[in-house]
Amino acid sequence: MNYVFYDFETSGLNYYFDQPIQLAAKLVDENFNVLDELNEKCRLRDGVIPSPIALLITKTNLKDLSSKQSFYEFMDKIHQKLSSWSPAIFIGYNNINFDEKFLRSSLYHSLHAPYLTNTNNNSRTDLFKIILSICNLDKPYINIPIDKEKGRKSLKLEKIAENNKIKHEFAHDAMSDVDATLGVAEIIKNNDPDLWEHLMVFRNHNNVREFIEENKICFLPPTTSTGDYTPVCYLTSNPDNAKELIFFNLCEEVTDEIISSRTRNIGSLFKNKILKKVKSNDYPILLQYKHLDDTLKEKYSKDKNNYDVKFKLLNSSSNFVMNINQYLVDQLADYQVDNRDYLSASEHVDEMLYNGFTGPSDWALIKKIDNLNKIDEIFIELGALEDKRLVELYKRKLYSDKQELLPEKNINNYKAYISNKIFDDSEKVPWTTISKAKAELVKASSDSRFANMQDEIDIIGKYIDKLEKDFSS
């Protein structure tokens, strides 16, 4: 299967309210030969105030924020191209926790089906998780650098690329990051093809289930560069969420106290890391004994018989598993009562990505609306949408890309909405406002990371001042 290596640069870290400003992607075959590529930029949507810290870190050229291409044109191209590349394995560097979230949210905001990377036979992996899983193993083909200040291994992409002589001219440029990610992945795949094949197993939920059924005892990689490899055995999955898997840490003793734990005491076992949760749809990595280096093999070989005994004892303790399941069910119920489903209750359509699935009839209607050029007809069809989230989202698209069709009253109302949004001084609003951006600039001026970037800070300050002036009038 082909791979899609991709990377976003964004206006901030909040994937609900910030947005991508650049996407780069390369389609490669199973041997990593480049078949096609994509590199697009777009301007900010009205009402999106960029985080100055994010701009400084990524060294964003402010001219890119005023690109002629709108966010919606940008996302239309991305959706079309990535769909044409499917089916494929999507991979980035920390993409599961960052790029993937921005991709889903941006597809949703631009009125496209959001789950592109794990539907229609697509799947996803994460090179950051792969590096984390092997960084403390004796792998002579990959050179993981040491952060001298922190005294531990650095997992920054630019440092790994540099240490392995991979061209990476511009850190935080999307295409440069794609090339670096591709280069690091190629080193692992070419030098350790069996391990690479094993790591690809976990790209979808069903594969993970098959693995744990066949491998009673396996090893969880560390969650930090200084962590340990943990021998575990699978116990159960959440009765209300089959993708939440529960493992027992075999480094712990299986005592009568643990096995006889009441439901109310199960939480302490998770807190003390005796029990571990693993999400099978977030690209977890589970290693086998054969993947460990000689030092770890020797260490765990001494305890193998003991692990087998623990495994048999745990799996014969039906009450223990039953109490774990009950605890998980109760936890979900408590969460729903205490939180009232925050996203569902949110007044902001931006945060409603996970509030349900849009039906095929609505997607078909959106395509029809896109081809209409009379505002009355557009509003009639918008009223027919069953998913009311799409109504508000489409109105934003109209204001951005088809403003000439809108009556002056609608335009003025939307301008007022944008103005109220960016000048909202409430500390609780989840998006970046003018006042928040100015506060970030003050912090940046005294931040050692930006000690030599005062000119850039001043330029961003002028940009924020201009936004303030434009939306004040």
pLDDT, tens digit, 9 for 90 and up, residues 188-209: 999 999 999 999 999 999 999 9
Q: What's the pLDDT band for 345 if we cut at 50, 70, 90?
A: low
Rounded CA separation 175/359 (Å): 34
Identity at 327, one-letter amino acid code: Y
Identity at 446, one-letter amino acid code: S
CATH number belonging to the domain at 3-194, selected among 3.40.190.10, 3.90.870.10, 3.30.420.10, 1.20.950.20: 3.30.420.10
Length of the chain in terms of residues written: 473
Residue 337's pLDDT is 43
How is domain 202-339 classified at the architecture level of CATH? 2-Layer Sandwich (3.30)
pLDDT, tens digit, 9 for 90 and up, residues 357-415: 999 999 999 999 999 999 999 999 999 999 999 999 999 999 999 999 999 999 999 99
Residue 331's pLDDT is 81
Q: Is 56 helix (H, G, I), strand (E, B) or coil?
A: helix
In percent, the amount of the chain with pLDDT more than 90 equals: 85
Q: Residue 94: pLDDT above 80?
A: yes
Residue 335's pLDDT is 47
pLDDT, tens digit, 9 for 90 and up, residues 59-71: 898 988 888 899 9
b/e per residue, 57-68, with b = 16+ CB within 10 A? ebebeeeebebe
By the 8 A CB rule, do 285 and 221 touch?
A: yes
Q: What mean pLDDT is reported for the chain?
A: 93
170: phi > 0 → left, psi -120 to 50 → alpha, else beta; which? beta
How many Cβ atoms from other residues are within 10 Å of residue 42's Cβ?
Answer: 24
Domain(s) labelled CATH 3.30.420.10 in the chain stretch across 3-194
Q: What's the pLDDT band for 340 if we cut at 50, 70, 90?
A: very low
Rounded CA separation 327/258 (Å): 14
By the 8 A CB rule, do 163 and 144 touch?
A: yes
Domain(s) labelled CATH 3.30.1520.20 in the chain stretch across 202-339
Return the closest-CA partner of residue 47 out of 432, 411, 451.
Answer: 432
Residue 338's pLDDT is 42
Return all residues near 180 (Cβ < 8 A) that are at least 6 apart. Answer: 93, 157, 158, 160, 161, 166, 167, 168
By the 8 A CB rule, do 142 and 164 touch?
A: yes
Residue 334's pLDDT is 54
Q: Residue 10: pLDDT above 60?
A: yes
b/e per residue, 226-236, with b = 16+ CB within 10 A? eeebbbbbbbb
By the 8 A CB rule, do 15 and 107 touch?
A: no
Q: Residue 279: pLDDT above 80?
A: yes
Q: What's the pLDDT band for 342 if we cut at 50, 70, 90?
A: very low
Q: Residue 96: pLDDT above 60?
A: yes
Question: pTM to 2 decimals?
Answer: 0.93
pLDDT, tens digit, 9 for 90 and up, residues 419-451: 999 999 888 899 999 999 999 999 999 999 999
Q: What's the pLDDT band for 170 if we cut at 50, 70, 90?
A: confident
What's 30's DSSP letter? T
Rounded CA separation 250/267 (Å): 18
For the chain, state the CA radius of gyration: 25
- Could you tell me which residues are beta bridge partners of residue 124? 90
Pairing of strands 275-279, 241-249: antiparallel
